[in-house]
C-alpha cells in the first residue's frame, strides 16, 4: 500500500501545533509552538493574545511540520476551544485542503486527547480497548466520558466550575509559584507532607460531576489564616485532594458502566501522583488504566491527526471512504 500522510492542525487554546502522521500510526513530525511565555504574566490564557499569536505562527508551524511532504488529508481541531484560535486553525486547514485538493477532516479536540493514549510508540500505536471510561483533564476540561466504541460517546459528567488544571494554575498563582501551575505545584508537592493539612474532597456524591473552585477557595482561606504556611505542604495537600477526587470518580464510573479500561488524557494527565494512584486503584479493581505518554498530554496536533485517522477508518467501514471531500467538510461540525 502506498504511504499516506495526515496533516493535523491544533489551535484550540494556547498551543499552535501541526503534525504529520504516516499511515495512521507513525508521528513523522509534531511541531508545537507554546504561548506560555505570552500568557505567563497574566497567570492564565488571554484569548485575544492567543488568537493573534496563532495567526502569527500558524504558517511557519505548518511549514516546519510538512517539510517536503504533500499531505493526503488535512485535519484540524474544530472545537471545543477559544473562537479566535478555532478560526485560525479552520481557515488554515480549509486553505491547505483546497491547495492540495485533499479531504478536510474536522475532529473534536477531546477525541484527540482520548486517542492520544494510543500514541505509545511501542509499537507505534497501541489501540484502546472499548468499552472504556475516559477522563479528560486539562486546563479547560475535566470530564468523564463513556466510550462504547469509536464515535459512540456519552458524557457522564464534567466540572461545574473550574477545571482541575485551572485549579492547579490558580493555586500556583496564590502561592506565587509561576505558570502553568500544574508542573510547579506537583514539583513542590514532592517535598511536602500531604497529611499536614486537610483540604475538602469535592466528591459530589451521586453524580459524575466535579467542582474544584471550592477547593481553590479553601487554599486561599488557609493562606489568609496561616501567613507562614509551608508551601510544599499546601501543594501536597491540594494535589492529593484533586487526585483522590479524580481517581474516586473515575473508578466509580468504570464500575457502574462495567468497563475494563480507563483512559486518561489532557494536560493534567502528566501529573505523576494522579497516574500512580489511578493505576494502583485500577489494578486492585482488575482494570487497566491507560495514560497518555509524557510529552503528548498537552495540546498537540499529532493527537488531532490520529483522531482524524480514526474518523477516516470509521467512514471507510461505512463504505463512505472514496472520500467525497464535500461530505466531510459539511459534517465538520458534528
The binding site for Zn ion (CB under 5 A) comprises 138, 299
Report the nearest approach of Zn ion to the CB of residue 220 (Å). 26
Report the nearest approach of ligand KG4 to the CB of residue 36 (Å). 10
**Residue partners of 62: CB distance under 8 A and separation at least 6:** 7, 9, 18, 92, 96
Rounded to 5°, the CA angle 214-209-236 comes to: 45
Chosen from Zn ion, ligand KG4, none, partner binding at 181 (C-beta under 5 to 8 Å by type): ligand KG4
Residue 310: how many CA atoms within 13 Å on its side-chain side? 24
Answer for the pair 98, 51: CB distance below 8 angstroms, yes or no: no
Residue whose CB is less far from ligand KG4, 73 or 291: 291
Chosen from ligand KG4, Zn ion, none, partner binding at 71 (C-beta under 5 to 8 Å by type): none
Distance between CA atoms of 294 and 183, rounded to whole angstroms?
A: 12
Chosen from ligand KG4, Zn ion, none, partner binding at 118 (C-beta under 5 to 8 Å by type): none
Chosen from Zn ion, ligand KG4, none, partner binding at 131 (C-beta under 5 to 8 Å by type): none
Residue whose CB is less far from ligand KG4, 17 or 29: 17
> How many CB atoms neighbour CB 104 within 10 A?
24
Report the nearest approach of Zn ion to the CB of residue 144 (Å). 16
Residue whose CB is less far from Zn ion, 103 or 106: 106
Answer for the pair 30, 19: CB distance below 8 angstroms, yes or no: yes
Residue whose CB is less far from ligand KG4, 66 or 247: 247
- Extract the C-alpha cell encoding 242: 484533586
Residue whose CB is less far from ligand KG4, 90 or 312: 90
Distance between CA atoms of 80 and 110, rounded to whole angstroms?
A: 8
Report the nearest approach of Zn ion to the CB of residue 182 (Å). 13
Residue whose CB is less far from ligand KG4, 28 or 189: 189
Residue whose CB is less far from ligand KG4, 73 or 238: 238
- Provide the binding-site residues for ligand KG4, judged by CB under 6 A: 13, 138-140, 165-166, 168-169, 180-183, 186, 266-268, 270-271, 298-299
- What is the total residue count of the chain? 334
Q: Which residue has the cell 495537600?
A: 237
**Residue partners of 248: CB distance under 8 A and separation at least 6:** 201, 203
- DSSP bridge partners of 134: 145, 263
Answer for the pair 14, 50: CB distance below 8 angstroms, yes or no: yes
Chosen from ligand KG4, Zn ion, none, partner binding at 265 (C-beta under 5 to 8 Å by type): none
Chosen from Zn ion, ligand KG4, none, partner binding at 180 (C-beta under 5 to 8 Å by type): ligand KG4
Distance between CA atoms of 149 and 169, rounded to whole angstroms?
A: 33
Q: What's phi and psi for 243, nearest 5 deg?
A: -65, -45
Report the nearest approach of ligand KG4 to the CB of residue 245 (Å). 13
Report the nearest approach of ligand KG4 to the CB of residue 109 (Å). 7
Distance between CA atoms of 84 and 49, rounded to whole angstroms?
A: 9
Report the nearest approach of Zn ion to the CB of residue 285 (Å). 27
Reduced to 3 states (helix: H, G, I; strand: E, B; else coil), residue 143 is strand
Residue whose CB is less far from Zn ion, 75 or 197: 75
Report the nearest approach of ligand KG4 to the CB of residue 128 (Å). 18
Amino acid at each position: 500500500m502506498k504511504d499516506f500522510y495526515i496533516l493535523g492542525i491544533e489551535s484550540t487554546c494556547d498551543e499552535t501545533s501541526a503534525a504529520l502522521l504516516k499511515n495512521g500510526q507513525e508521528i513523522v513530525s509534531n511541531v508545537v509552538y507554546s504561548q506560555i511565555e505570552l500568557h505567563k504574566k497574566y497567570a492564565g490564557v488571554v484569548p485575544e493574545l492567543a488568537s493573534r499569536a496563532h495567526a502569527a505562527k500558524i504558517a511557519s508551524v505548518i511549514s516546519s511540520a510538512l517539510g517536503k511532504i504533500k499531505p493526503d488529508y488535512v485535519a484540524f481541531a474544530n472545537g471545543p476551544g477559544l473562537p479566535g484560535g478555532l478560526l485560525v486553525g479552520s481557515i488554515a486547514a480549509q486553505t491547505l485542503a483546497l491547495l492540495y485538493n485533499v479531504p478536510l477532516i474536522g475532529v473534536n479536540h477531546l477525541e484527540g486527547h482520548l486517542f492520544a493514549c494510543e500514541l505509545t510508540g511501542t509499537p507505534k500505536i497501541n489501540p484502546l480497548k472499548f468499552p472504556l471510561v475516559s477522563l479528560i483533564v486539562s486546563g479547560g476540561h475535566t470530564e468523564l466520558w463513556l466510550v462504547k466504541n469509536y464515535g459512540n460517546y456519552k458524557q457522564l459528567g464534567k466540572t461545574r466550575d473550574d477545571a482541575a488544571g485551572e485549579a492547579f494554575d490558580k493555586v500556583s498563582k496564590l502561592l506565587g509559584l509561576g505558570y502553568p501551575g500544574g508542573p510547579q505545584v506537583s514539583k513542590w508537592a514532592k517535598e511536602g507532607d500531604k497529611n499536614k493539612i486537610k483540604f475538602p474532597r469535592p466528591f459530589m456524591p451521586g453524580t459524575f460531576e466535579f467542582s474544584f473552585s471550592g477547593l481553590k477557595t479553601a487554599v486561599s482561606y488557609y493562606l489568609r489564616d496561616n501567613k507562614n504556611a509551608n508551601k510544599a505542604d499546601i501543594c501536597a495537600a491540594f494535589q492529593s485532594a484533586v487526585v483522590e477526587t479524580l481517581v474516586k470518580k473515575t473508578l466509580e464510573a468504570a464500575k457502574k458502566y462495567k468497563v475494563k479500561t480507563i483512559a486518561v488524557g489532557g494536560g493534567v494527565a502528566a501529573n505523576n501522583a494522579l497516574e500512580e494512584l489511578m493505576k494502583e486503584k485500577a489494578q486492585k479493581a482488575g482494570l487497566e488504566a491507560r495514560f497518555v505518554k509524557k510529552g503528548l498530554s498537552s495540546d498537540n496536533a499529532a493527537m488531532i491527526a490520529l483522531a482524524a485517522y480514526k474518523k477516516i477508518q470509521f467512514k471507510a467501514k461505512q463504505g463512505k471512504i472514496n472520500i467525497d471531500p464535500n461530505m466531510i467538510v459539511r459534517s465538520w461540525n458534528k
